[in-house]
Amino acid sequence: MLVLLLVLGLSLSAGAVTIRHWDWHQPRMNLKLKYMEEYEKLNPDVKFETQVIGWEDYWTRLMSGVAGGDVPDIAQFHNSQTQAFLNHLEPFPADLFDYDRYKEDFINFEAAYLFDGTFHFYPVGIMSGLIFYNTDYWAEAGLTEADIPTTWDEFREIAKKLTKYDSAGDIQVAGFVPNGILGVFWLDLHYQLGGKLYGEDAKTVAWNNEAGIKALELIEQLIFEDRVTEPGFLGFSEAMGTGHAAMVYSWSWLGGELNNNYPDLNWGVFRLPTFDGKLAPGPVARNNHETGMSVMKGARAEAKGAAFEFLKWLYEETDYLVEVNLILGTAPSNRNLLDDPRIVENPLIAAIAEQVPYTNIPGEIPYEVENDYGLGMLQDLLFFGYSAADALALAEAEANGVLQERPVKWYVEDLYVPVAE
């Protein structure tokens, strides 16, 4: 009898598998744990081991694991790490995941996810730049939702109306603050005027042109002609949170920061105005994708199949995609989820959902190009009195120096397909 029980026990556990998973974001992991518990009930032979590792250590430990042959079976991924890790990620199997349907259902799927015909991390959500506004100041100025601007000319007039000065003429509440994020804001304006981030084959950037100059001149007008903000004013996030800004430009992550750090602030959000008031044909802004999980090539052989089966269930048979986008402040990549009532009823995500079909993803942007020696220079140059053309020429030259040293390999900007009206 004892032998029979031992044999029976071995046979019952022979197909059992434990899937190891890493993430850096605790709220997202908490959501996953809820679904993992449900999956374990549906599949008693599957168990999960999870670990949350801070962002800075996460990628170092993952690469060390690749080198040492000890990686999680499923790793939360971020597309900023595409070049470093792509060769270490297992392609999603076409017999389990419907590539043709994804090309139809997911925004930017071919541009943002397909590499040599396969994809290695699941599309989750999209983030883009928006206008956040203080609803109390909006009401004090006699403005309603009907006054939300659709053109930059309308936006300028509202920004002037919302600006508050003291008796000495100093700004107390800025009507609009791009400070601290000016170069990123400029790039969206550049897109709206037909410009791009990169030149041919992404060997250079393409900024110092008619579209780029006109875009930067609009920012000049807001700062120096309309005086709705000024050099040296608080950065956009602090200004908004502390009530010193009536409107700011930011990507949608700001919503979570405001809720966490300034819970008493009353704020709203709307999509970017455009020069002609229209979204189509776009692009009207840059986007970036919040990617999902990946199965590591170095994962244990017995766990790979189970890992993909779990991801198929999680992403396509549950409400996880809706719930995780609500947590992250992103719009679903899947067009079919954009009209989900939970998405539509969330003002922040509804604004992203309205805008993202008309946004473009350029591919990789080296950190220095976005922050230090490229777009990040435009604010200082403008504040130091450089003309739009001169500022763009200097920033462009510095960015091109970076690209010579670190050539961009993931470049998809030209794959944008204009959207019909």
Q: Are residues 222 and 368 in the same domain?
A: yes
Q: Domain range spanning residue 239?
A: 128-287+360-415
Averaged pLDDT, 290-304: 96
Q: What is the pLDDT of residue 421?
A: 60
Helix, coil or strand: residue 253? coil
- Does any domain span residue 347? no
- The gap from C-alpha 385 to its chain's centroid, in whole angstroms, comes to 32
Structure tokens at 356: 């993202």
Q: Is residue 421 part of a domain?
A: no
- One domain, residues 192 and 65: no
Phi and psi angles of residue 319, each rounded to the nearest 5 degrees, phi first? -90, 15
Q: Which residue has the tokens 């030209």?
A: 414
**How buried is 161 (Cβ within 10 angstroms: 0-12 exposed, 13-18 middle, 19+ buried)?**
middle
Report the share of the chain in percent with pLDDT over 70: 96
Residues 243 and 281 in one domain: yes
pLDDT digits (tens, 9 = 90+) for 157-209: 999 999 999 999 999 999 999 999 999 999 999 999 999 999 989 999 999 99
| Arithmetic mean of pLDDT, 30-37 | 97
Domain end (from 310, 339, 368): 339
Q: How far is CA 270 from CA 229, 305, 336, 340, in A?
A: 20, 43, 22, 19
In this prediction, residue 231 carries a pLDDT of 96
Residue 51 lies inside a defined structural domain of this protein: yes
256 in the same domain as 278: yes
Same domain, 398 and 251: yes
* Both structure tokens of 348: 């922040």
Residue 1 placed within a domain: no
Instruction: List the one residue out of 180, 176, 178, 189 whose CA is nearest residue 133.
Output: 176
Q: Do residue 311 and residue 237 come from a single domain?
A: no
| pLDDT per position as a tens digit, 50-74 | 999 999 899 999 999 999 999 999 9
Residue 139 resides in a domain: yes
Is there a single domain that holds both residue 396 and residue 410? yes
Q: Over the stretch 72-106, which tens digit does the pLDDT of each residue have? A: 999 999 988 888 899 999 999 999 999 999 999 99
State how many domains the chain has.
2
- Residues 89, 178: one domain? no
pLDDT of residue 417: 86
Higher pLDDT: 108 or 117? It is 117
pLDDT tens readout for residues 345-364: 999 998 998 898 899 999 88
CATH of the domain at 132: 3.40.190.10
**Is 92 part of a structural domain of the chain?**
yes
Same domain, 279 and 365: yes
Q: % helix / strand / coil in the chain, to the nearest 5?
A: 50, 15, 35
Is there a domain that residue 348 lies in?
A: no
**Are residue 165 and residue 269 in the same domain, yes or no?**
yes
Tell me, yes or no, whether 66 and 209 share the same domain. Answer: no
As a whole number of angstroms, the distance between CA 81 and CA 83 comes to 6
Tell me which of 253 and 309 has the higher pLDDT: 309
- Note whether residue 344 is domain-resident: no
Same domain, yes or no, for 146 and 224? Answer: yes
Q: Average per-residue pLDDT in the chain?
A: 93
Cα 176 from Cα 133, distance rounded (Å)? 9
